[in-house]
Amino acid sequence: DVVYNHTSEQGLGEPRSSLRGIDNRSYYRQHDDGSYIDVTGCGNSLDTSTGAASRLVLDSLRYWAEEVRVDGFRFDLAPTLGRDAEHTFSPEHPLLRAIAEDPRLEGVKKIAEPWDVGMGGWQTGNFGAGWTEWNDRYRDRVRNFWLSDIDYARRADTTPVGIGGFASRLAGSANTFSPERGPLAGVNFVTAHDGFTLRDLVSYDVKHNLGNGEEGRDGADTNRSFNHGAEGHTDDARILSTRRKAMRNLFGTLLLSAGVPMITAGDEYARTQRGNNNAYCHDSTLTWLDWEHAAWQRDLFAHAARLIRLRQENPALRPVRFAHAEMSVPSASVIDWYDENGRTMSIDRWTDASHRTLQYDARSTPEHEEPNRILLVIHGREDGAEVVLPELDGVSRYVSLWSSEDEHPREGREHLAPKSIVTMSGTSMHLFRSE
């Protein structure tokens, strides 16, 4: 995780410790009167429109890649690096292109956090070739679907939106990333080092940051979380069971979506920060990884491991390119969508908030490996549903691979015929291989 957008020197009133004492004007963005332009929220911003600052960044990256053998970088507040002398972002900025095209950085992962706090700072989907980006739109929509939408439905007896936006994220966010870049341009995530952990997402409605010493002002106020009936710790067995399934749904969505999945360390064991969503300032058991786990935490780990293996074994889940349904593009997946009755999704059902059940049929179009086909059934309401598996050309049976309804992944693999009825419990997922 590299921070090339600002330094520790902070604002003009702070002590000189590095670049300000070397060449203040060449390294920092400034107004004509010498005051700093802050597009990072940290008091100073590196001016990468100058040769000196750009060379410093490139030399640093080369050192880490060649001498330390780091194989990838996540660029904090990456749009700051792509701002010109007028402080406007451009994906064609010389530094961004140099990082992507530098032969000494060939094969090194370059992942952008595609936003900063300056004007026009939100740039998700706008970086160029050679870059991948954190997909915050994926994070928000997936959290909404499984958490805040369900919270809303408990109070209003209906969810706020239909399933269309969720399906777009599941299929690789083609409405965010260009066809030339494809689904691998997006790094899908549900949690990160900032914000709630996976366990806290399903256990807290609001942040609990008083221990940070800023009277609760720090950390995001909008988390799209849902405590499922009790804030934080509870002994209520029903709430705990629902929370565990919610974590499995979030993990399942992340690892079964097109794009590059990112897992925050500790989520596979349901690590908690006790509701603190900005715990960077703590070096204590609040943030350390705990290697002592209860049985239910080991079960969650088993689900994560199973999902990773299924992703590896089924190329239809990890397309490299986008494709329309009528196309056959090598390394893409041809996708069709069906409703709970096994019929092709109608246009009105995508936006109808009362319809939150979807069947996702994906067929790989491989260049080398054997063809592969999967069916993912998703049910996004708390009441149960009966789902009719679709009758599809070339499919004689569906082999059950994984279900979020199981506390521990099942070893046996049930075979079901097309038109079989599958009973889905509230808010659940079921993955099949189509044969």
Positions marked catalytic: 76, 113
Q: Who's near 11: CB < 8 A, 6+ residues apart?
A: 36, 43, 44
Residue with tokens 């349904």: 325
| 219 touches 277 (CB < 8 A) | yes
Which stretches of 287-412 are DSSP H helices? Answer: 295-313, 347-351
Q: What is the largest CA-CA distance in the chain?
A: 74
Closest CA to 333 of 434, 209, 225, 192: 434
User: What type of residue is 295?
Assistant: A
DSSP 317: G
Question: 109 φ, ψ to 5°?
Answer: -70, 135
| 52 touches 44 (CB < 8 A) | no
User: What type of residue is 352?
Assistant: D
| 29 touches 5 (CB < 8 A) | no
Closest CA to 401 of 409, 392, 390, 391: 409
CA distance 147 to 198: 11
Residue with tokens 């029903």: 238
Which stretches of 318-417 are DSSP H helices? Answer: 347-351
DSSP 396: -
Closest CA to 65 of 127, 2, 6: 2
Closest CA to 99 of 125, 65, 67, 61: 61
CA distance 183 to 331: 11
User: What type of residue is 416?
Assistant: L
User: In the chain, helix, strand, coil percent, each to 5?
Assistant: 30, 15, 50
CA distance 406 to 189: 23
Residue 302's Cβ-count burial label (10 Å; 0-12, 13-18, 19+) is middle
Residue with tokens 């909008």: 222
- Residue 180, Cβ neighbours under 10 Å: how many? 10
DSSP 406: -
